[in-house]
Amino acid sequence: MLAYALDDRHFSLVRNLHLADLITELNGFCGIFSVFQSLRYCLGSPSDFSPLWVSMILMPLGLFFDFMDGKVARWRRKSSLLGQELDSLADLISFGVAPAVCAFSIGMRSFLDTIVLSLFVLCGLTRLARFNVTVSNLPKDKKTGKSKYFEGTPIPTTLALVGVMAWWVHKGLVLEELPYGAYAEGTLLELHPVVLVFGLWGTMMVSKSLKIPKL
């Protein structure tokens, strides 16, 4: 049973968090702060990219904390089901919601764009839920005890999309200058073709036949 479930003190949940859990929380902090910075760009001058740069830097910083929480948990030999759930929720924010909001901020703002971006986030959510449920059943490496492969692309791989968006921002290819423009502009069917990459990435995350070997 979880330790905090037997602890009646005030803030018992926080008191019983392990160091690795606190590092996971930093991953989540990077993700939500990235979202706020993307929204700050929407509210400011279109030519001031500084909030976008902060937003995009925070996402790989979240990956650093995502990597470190596992290292610390193994080092201290302390892990929990709560930590596993925290890890998945933080990943959803940093590598699912944050990239989608960043994409919206740089110009993928039409009705159809937002549907695709929403489906992208839902694919990330589904992929993480499936991982939590099936990880114990995946084939394990005899030496390390870790799963031999991922089913579907891991959600942190969405940082590749962030890298592409960072290049566009560097070149000033945002809003009206977004690569490949928009189809049916000004109508309910307006769609920026580049948003389909997010849709493709989402399907790769939930694929069962796509197996990515663990390094």
CA pair distance 209, 215, nearest whole angstrom: 19
Q: What one-letter code names the amino acid at 199?
A: G
As a three-state string, the secondary structure of 109-132 is: CCHHHHHHHHHHHHHHHHHHHHHH
The answer to whether 135 and 72 are in contact (CB under 8 A) is: no
Give pTM, 2 decimals.
Answer: 0.88
Q: Which residues contact 33 (CB under 8 A, 6 or more apart)?
A: 58
Q: Per the structure block, which two tokens stand in for 215?
A: 């390094």
Query: What does the pLDDT look like over 107-144, one tens digit per residue?
Result: 999 999 999 999 999 999 999 998 888 766 665 555 55
Domains with residue ranges and CATH for the chain: 3-213 (1.20.120.1760)
Residues 6+ apart with CB under 8 A from 57: none
Containing H/E element for 134? helix 111-134
Q: What is the reported pLDDT for 1?
A: 45
pLDDT tens, position by position, for the chain (215 residues)?
A: 455 555 565 655 565 667 788 899 999 999 999 999 999 999 999 999 999 999 999 999 999 999 998 788 777 676 666 778 889 999 999 999 999 999 999 999 999 999 999 999 999 999 999 888 876 666 555 555 566 677 889 999 999 999 999 999 999 999 999 999 999 998 999 999 999 999 999 999 999 888 777 76
What's residue 22's pLDDT?
A: 87
Question: What residue type is 48 in one-letter code?
Answer: D
Beta carbons within 8 Å of 21's beta carbon, 6+ residues apart: 69, 80, 82, 83, 86
User: Residue 4: its pLDDT value, please?
Assistant: 54
Predicted local confidence at residue 158, as pLDDT: 97
Alpha helices in 8-96 (DSSP H): 12-15, 19-43, 50-76, 81-92
Q: What is the pLDDT of residue 13?
A: 58
CA dihedral angle for residue 159, residue 163, residue 164, residue 166, rounded to 10 degrees: 130
Put residue 50 in one of left, alpha, beta given phi > 0 → left and psi -120 to 50 → alpha: alpha
